[in-house]
A and B are shown apart, each in its own frame.
Chain A
């Protein structure tokens, strides 16, 4: 048997599934376009998404190709060490639920900056928050786009630049016409496909091991040594590296703009709560499946074959699909991987566009007073800017090592976004300048420390040593952002913010006051004056 000839030599089935998913995405955006007339519908799906649906969409927004292909590959090559990511990517969700979801839903409108700026001076806080949002979104987006290019090139044997352009264009069409409604439904379809595909693959693997995962782990350990079931030094080299990575993964989730934005799509705090409950259930289940997929690929495909196709191990899950289910199943899993990337980049680009248009244009340039029509137009222009940026950077960085950018995005999210968000919600004495300083110090220190770290100095630039010992900066940059926010707040005074604390607290419990004028009426009302 000549194994795995099908990778890079796409079967008709793979191309069929691939085209089918693009078609489904386009149909969804056509359907959603008629329901996307206001900014509220464009950014927040008109608050009409149910808790269960949003839980699925959150899972679809969060489980990136890095989780599906990357973690399965890491586990296949390094065993237990890959599971550190599986678990780290999950444990942030309870934190989101306990501390952030409900206040966010009731205080904000479209972006997490709405919440940070709620009691504070709009202009400086929004500008700083946009820095935090856009740096997270752009690094995450680059990692996804480059990953998409490589993946599609490997699986469908088409040109890298063309692959990036296809992903970027489908994403743009999806958001421009269908906004958050289309994005949500693509994420729901993707989550269903990904969970279903991973479950089918895992069950298929387990059928080889008399349905007993322990027998699978044992078989993997028999071929590759018992060390694969224990922590090694492949993913985290030093002790403090593990702690720093753990911190970034846990708190990074709570600061990802595209995840936070999803909480505005549900009608109230109760639905926000239930959506995290569902998301945690689906994501946890998925990461449990990665245990089986990773060790399954190790035992059934073999490490040599996996690294032979792609050194990073990214093809472990598709190879496993081919091993157990042959070409049709490979074709299905390849299309699922594509769907995975599309749903994540759509969520990312939409949250980046919201930062540009809602935070910077509407609230900084226009001081919060822009007619509805203009808001929607600017939102769409910002979407085109985000989409074009994603395509251009994706193509420009072909062949670059961008794997660290996901870690960097999580570190910036944990350092720039989370401390300011938590202090804005829970600390009466938090001030405008405390927020600005916390966000900027968090973002800049994460960026500088990662530049000085072994990740960039040794792995990317090829130097012999680095200035900063940790691969992930969160252990330093996140506490630094907290301390900066506290010290600057204590040194400054923001009487208006303190006065507004009760109002914010009341709104978190009771909810936003019902809107006096419906959106359409507001447009009609404004038109004669404007």
Chain B
């Protein structure tokens, strides 16, 4: 803060531009995280509600036996569990690899 204030005497437009730059970069990064989060949320909703809507409206389909001891319902249930693992893993991998370095850079710039 003090550096901005001391700079204002010579170049009045400089601090604003600096803050504006930061704001733009931050807005962009937030929007990017929100986009990834929303896509993954939609994917989770689609997987889970496909399962739930089949339970609600097509019970006999889920009762189809694929092999001895395995109904389509149980198989889909296991797939939903695996999907939660895969989707959380994708998010964490993306966040640690892409989001975190960009956030760290903004954090350092803010100091």
Contact = CB atoms under 8 A, between A and B. Distances in A.
A23 interface: no
Contacts of A509: 26, 29-30, 33, 103, 106-107
A95 interface: yes
A509 B28 CA distance: 11
Which of A86, A218, A287, A509 has the largest number of chain B CB atoms within 10 A? A509
Given A94-B88, A509-B106, A291 B77 contact: yes
Nearest to B48: A91
Given A243-B53, A274-B92, A277-B88, A231 B48 contact: no
Given A87-B81, A217-B74, A505-B27, A97 B88 contact: yes
Interface of A: 80, 83-84, 86-87, 90-91, 93-95, 97-99, 213-219, 221, 226-227, 229-232, 236, 239-243, 246, 250, 269-270, 273-274, 276-277, 280-281, 284, 287-288, 291, 426, 502, 505-506, 508-511
B88 A93 contact: yes
B69 interface: yes
Contacts of B73: 80, 83, 229-231
A345 B41 CA distance: 30
B65 interface: yes
A509 B109 CA distance: 13
Contacts of A214: 67-70
Given A231-B73, A243-B56, A91 B92 contact: no
B77 A87 contact: yes
Contact of B100 (A99, A270, A508): A270
Contact of B106 (A80, A269, A288, A510): A510
A98 B77 contact: no
B74 to A, nearest CB: 6
Given A227-B63, A509-B29, A510-B107, A287 B69 contact: no
In terms of DSSP, what is the predominant structure of the interface of chain A?
A: helix
A280 B88 contact: yes
Nearest to B37: A98
A230 B59 contact: yes
B7 interface: no
Which of B33, B68, B88 has the largest number of chain A CB atoms within 10 A? B88
Contacts of B92: 97, 273-274, 277
12 contacts: A80-B77, A84-B52, A87-B77, A94-B88, A217-B69, A229-B70, A243-B49, A243-B52, A284-B81, A291-B74, A509-B107, A510-B110
A215 B69 CA distance: 6
Contacts of A94: 40-41, 44, 84, 87-88, 91
Nearest to A510: B107
A228 B75 CA distance: 14
B85 to A, nearest CB: 6
Given A80-B74, A229-B73, 9 more contacts: A80-B77, A99-B37, A229-B65, A236-B55, A250-B48, A273-B91, A280-B84, A502-B23, A505-B30
Interface in B39-72: 40-41, 44, 48-49, 51-53, 55-57, 59-60, 62-63, 65, 67-71
Contacts of A236: 55-56
A99 B41 contact: yes
Contacts of B36: 98
Contacts of B29: 509
Contacts of B81: 87, 90, 284, 287-288
B58 to A, nearest CB: 9
Nearest to B36: A98
Contacts of B63: 226-227, 229-231
Nearest to B29: A509
Contacts of A276: 88
Contacts of B4: none
A216 B69 CA distance: 7
B59 A83 contact: no
Which of A98, A221, A280, A291 has the largest number of chain B CB atoms within 10 A? A98
Interface string B94-108: 011000100100110
Contacts of B89: 277
Contacts of A97: 88, 91-92
A125 to B, nearest CB: 23
B41 A95 contact: yes
